[in-house]
Amino acid sequence: MALGEFDLIARFFQRPARRSALGVGDDCALLQPASGTQMAISCDMLVEGRHFFAGADPERLGHKALAVNLSDLAACGARPLAFTLALAMPQVDEAWLAPFSRGMLALADAHDCELIGGDTTRGPLNICITVFGEVPAIHGKTRALLRSGAGADDDIYVSGTLGDARLALEALRGHVSLPVDALARTRLRLEQPTPRVALGQALRGIATAAIDVSDGLLGDLGHILAQSGVGATIDTSSAIGLIAENHYPTWAGVDFSFDSVAITPLSLVLAGGDDYELLFTAPSSAREAVTAAAHASQTPVTRIGRIDATAGLRLLDAQGQPVSGRFDSFDHFA
Amino acid sequence: MALGEFDLIARFFQRPARRSALGVGDDCALLQPASGTQMAISCDMLVEGRHFFAGADPERLGHKALAVNLSDLAACGARPLAFTLALAMPQVDEAWLAPFSRGMLALADAHDCELIGGDTTRGPLNICITVFGEVPAIHGKTRALLRSGAGADDDIYVSGTLGDARLALEALRGHVSLPVDALARTRLRLEQPTPRVALGQALRGIATAAIDVSDGLLGDLGHILAQSGVGATIDTSSAIGLIAENHYPTWAGVDFSFDSVAITPLSLVLAGGDDYELLFTAPSSAREAVTAAAHASQTPVTRIGRIDATAGLRLLDAQGQPVSGRFDSFDHFA
């Protein structure tokens, strides 16, 4: 029997209200932010065929749709509170909805982030989540991590590792051939990314600017530089270090002499996209504090360069020589 | 020249932050609700071919996409604050985006509701808005209008008029033939609805329950009854009054002897859908207060029935006899 819209919500998505004053099932949900906090809000839309392949594993897709939103909260140093889900589907398919909601709500539970409302409709598969977090504001001054605070001589860091998701994407597109186990591991990064929520909160008061790496390291760094009015120099040997064997056992057996597209280890790291790591800046005086934040949040971070007063982005190799190459970031309309 | 995603946002949607602590252009927007308020949150997704026709006037569509969300705030008695917009489009078409953003931002300005963030991507046309409003909360107790507060012997009211939008829809579908001027007027109701934002706020402390009529009067009343644990009796002669000539000059020249579908004046009023009027309940002791709220918000309201302690929905004609007929409400998955 086909489920109607309201049955569908009740069966797969409705739970008792916890944090919210009022949850799913009225015209609006009600949230009461704690005194002395601001609400951080972000919104991401995932479209079939654009952000995920048709037939993608629904449980992982449910996870990813929320993860990319939580990643935006992480980049602001916000604590997750709640989210809304709008879902367009070609038809009501319980065999798809059950794992989709399971994957989404498992990640939500892991971050104590409550589903408080949304919309369901028929249409080409489209998942739109708006997520709400809270950040302290002291005397009206936000403690959120912004893109605009990087200063000259700040160090530049990135969390975790970069490039796996793009490598898996190129393999799934048939541009690259990967060993089975390498595909499985990189594919997990693509399809079930880990938002760096704990690191983002640990970096409040330490990082001067932050962004999550969704479109590629260089492109996302470009946003920090533009909004902070600064430039940067990236040590690509440290970036290459990010894909060295100790970081990337997965890549050890990969043949990078692809013939179909210009994919190199360096291009994957610098412009891969879909990584959902945190890219952030901090004064050199804060190196111990950064290390402590990384340790407290159990998230590895690597220093990859420094902010310059001079505009522009410079890529240097281990010998301090400029690195050439085009490393385009991802633009949904490019 | 094709605009990229970031240029597109800057050109058509980015404005200086006003109410928000931080607006479009960072990982998150920041909102700081006033002390003693709760945030009301609602989300609606509009899909081409489902909620609007392909080729719909983009300025009206921009208006409607926001209007249906503001209508949810109205139904909670919330004051609009801000919204996010996620937009999937087959391609970047400036000739479409300019009027679309103009229509949307004009309505936003009329309600002092700030666009604070969102997402753009390529995909089948899909417009997803999440809207934020504020309602007072006194000692943690919300002043929001909920669906769950209707009590036995409360009066039932509806604002404005009902049925125009559905009549226009049936005409555009070719099920009904309308005179040119009647089509133009009803089509405006369908394509550019007026959210009853001022009425909703005026009804705080007066109405015991409220909902906006989006799926049809009877279907939406059903939500109030279910969540309040009550029944209702509707005086269909007053509902018919809602479509009498003094309310509906537009319908005066319409021939209701359609042959293709079972459309009657009564079915349009009771189950039309897409009306975005407010349906609410209030104690009979509050009749003067309701009239005053209607007057203050310059919004006509009509009393159409009463809440019963006995479950179920009874439709009576002017002689007090039961009205038969099926009046299905709209379900996006029915």
- List, for residues A78-88, the tens digit of each pLDDT value: 999 999 999 99
Task: Answer yes or no: do A45 and B2 touch at CB < 8 A.
Answer: no
Give the nearest chain A residue to B276 (CA atoms): A27
Distance (Å, rounded) from C-alpha A31 to C-alpha B43? 14
Task: Answer yes or no: do A148 and B2 touch at CB < 8 A.
Answer: no
Please count the CA atoms within 13 angstroms of the CA of A160 that sit on its side-chain side. 24
Sheet with A231-235, edge to edge strand ranges: A209-213, A277-282, A155-159, A301-308, A231-235, A313-316
A333 touches B at CB < 8 Å: yes
Per-residue pLDDT, averaged over B271-281, amounts to 94
> What residue type is A13 in one-letter code?
F
Residues of B in contact with A114 (CB under 8 A): none
**Does the residue B326 lie in any domain?**
no
Share of chain A above pLDDT 70, in %: 87
What's the N-to-C CA distance of chain B in angstroms?
43
B22: Cβ–Cβ under 8 A, 6 or more apart, which residues? A142, A144, A146, B28, B29, B30, B116
Task: Note the pLDDT of residue B2.
Answer: 42
Checking if the pLDDT of B238 tops 70, the result is yes
Nearest by CB: A30 against B5, B44, B142: B142
Q: What is the CATH number of the domain that holds A84?
A: 3.30.1330.10
Enumerate residues 7 to 26 of chain A having a beta carbon within 8 A of any beta carbon in chain B. Answer: 8, 21-22, 25-26
Reported as a single tens digit per residue, the pLDDT across B159-174 is 999 999 999 998 898 8
Nearest chain A Cα distance for residue B328, angstroms? 13
Q: Do A304 and A159 share a structural domain?
A: yes
Last residue of a domain, one of A117, A142, A167: A142
Distance (Å, rounded) from C-alpha A220 to C-alpha A274? 11
Residues of B in contact with A86 (CB under 8 A): 43-45, 128, 130
Q: Do A132 and A166 share a structural domain?
A: no
Checking if the pLDDT of B259 tops 60, the result is no
Task: Note the pLDDT of residue B3.
Answer: 47
Residues of A in contact with B8 (CB under 8 A): 333
Identity of the highest mean pLDDT range in A16-20, B135-139, B249-253 = B135-139
Residues of A in contact with B132 (CB under 8 A): 41
Q: Which of B26, B73, B132 to mutate: most A Cβ within 10 Å?
A: B26
Task: Note the pLDDT of residue B258.
Answer: 61
The tally of domains found in chain A comes to 2
Nearest chain B Cα distance for residue A250, angstroms? 30
Checking if the pLDDT of A333 tops 50, the result is no
Q: Do B177 and B287 share a structural domain?
A: yes
Checking if the pLDDT of B289 tops 80, the result is yes
B122 touches A at CB < 8 Å: yes
Q: Do A135 and A47 share a structural domain?
A: yes
Distance (Å, rounded) from C-alpha A284 to C-alpha B110? 48
Task: Answer yes or no: do A33 and B42 touch at CB < 8 A.
Answer: no
Task: Answer yes or no: do A2 and B333 touch at CB < 8 A.
Answer: yes
Distance (Å, rounded) from C-alpha A313 to C-alpha A234? 8
Q: Do B48 and B105 share a structural domain?
A: yes
Q: Do A311 and A171 share a structural domain?
A: yes
At A251, is the pLDDT very low, low, confident or very high (cuts 50, 70, 90)?
confident
pTM of the predicted model, to two decimals? 0.90
Checking if the pLDDT of B332 tops 60, the result is no
Share of chain A above pLDDT 90, in %: 60
**Does the residue B125 lie in any domain?**
yes
Task: Note the pLDDT of residue B327.
Answer: 67
Distance (Å, rounded) from C-alpha A128 to C-alpha A104? 13
Q: Do A29 and A116 share a structural domain?
A: yes
Reported as a single tens digit per residue, the pLDDT across B191-216 is 999 999 999 999 999 999 999 999 89
pLDDT mean across residues, chain B: 87
**Does the residue A78 lie in any domain?**
yes
Q: Which of B97, B128, B280 to mutate: most A Cβ within 10 Å?
A: B128
Give the nearest chain A residue to B144 (CA atoms): A30
Query: Domain range holding B33?
Result: 5-142
CA distances from A25 to A251, B43, B72, B214, B223 (A): 47, 12, 12, 14, 9
Instruction: Select the more confidently predicted residue: A260 or A312.
Output: A312
Per-residue pLDDT, averaged over A47-65, amounts to 94
CB-based contact B182:B251 (threshold 8 Å): yes
Residues of B in contact with A201 (CB under 8 A): none
Per-residue pLDDT, averaged over A132-157, amounts to 91
**Does the residue B41 lie in any domain?**
yes
Distance (Å, rounded) from C-alpha A176 to C-alpha A43? 32
B41: Cβ–Cβ under 8 A, 6 or more apart, which residues? A28, A29, A30, A31, A84, A116, A117, A132, B130, B131, B132, B133
**Does the residue A72 lie in any domain?**
yes
Lowest mean pLDDT among A263-267, A323-327, B28-32: A323-327
Residues of A in contact with B140 (CB under 8 A): 32
Lowest mean pLDDT among A180-184, B95-99, B285-289: A180-184
Q: What is the CATH number of the domain that holds B305?
A: 3.90.650.10
> What residue type is A142 in one-letter code?
T
Reported as a single tens digit per residue, the pLDDT across A194-210 is 999 999 999 999 999 99
Q: Which of A8, A13, A28 to mutate: most B Cβ within 10 Å?
A: A28
Identity of the highest mean pLDDT range in A243-247, A253-257, B240-244, B311-315 = B311-315
What's the N-to-C CA distance of chain A in angstroms?
43
Instruction: Select the more confidently predicted residue: B4 or B333.
Output: B4
Checking if the pLDDT of A254 tops 60, the result is yes
Checking if the pLDDT of A239 tops 90, the result is no
Reported as a single tens digit per residue, the pLDDT across B105-154 is 999 999 999 999 888 999 999 999 999 999 998 887 888 899 989 999 99
